[in-house]
Amino acid sequence: MDKNTRQIYRHKSVRLKYYDYSQSGSYFVTACTRNREPLFGESKTVK
């Protein structure tokens, strides 16, 4: 990726400044796929 492209897609970090992310815990991860293809299985709504 060249320098100009990096500048276009640059964004601020959303991490908490003083949080230790090396600790064990629960984390929410978002993964986007092309055309919303279900590459990781199906999602189910739990009530």
DSSP 8-21: HT-----S-TT--T
**pLDDT averaged over every residue in the chain:** 79
Query: Do 40 and 31 meet the contact criterion of CB atoms below 8 Å apart?
Result: yes
Q: How confident is the model at residue 1 (pLDDT cuts 50, 70, 90)?
A: low
Question: Assign residue 19 a region: left if phi > 0, alpha if psi is -120 to 50, beta otherwise?
Answer: beta
Q: Read off the pLDDT of each residue in 5-24 and give the average, rounded to a whole number.
A: 78
Q: In whole angstroms, what is the distance from residue 36 CA to residue 38 CA?
A: 6
What pTM was computed for the model?
A: 0.31
pLDDT at 41: 82
Q: What is the pLDDT of residues 19-34, one digit of tens each?
A: 888 888 887 888 888 8
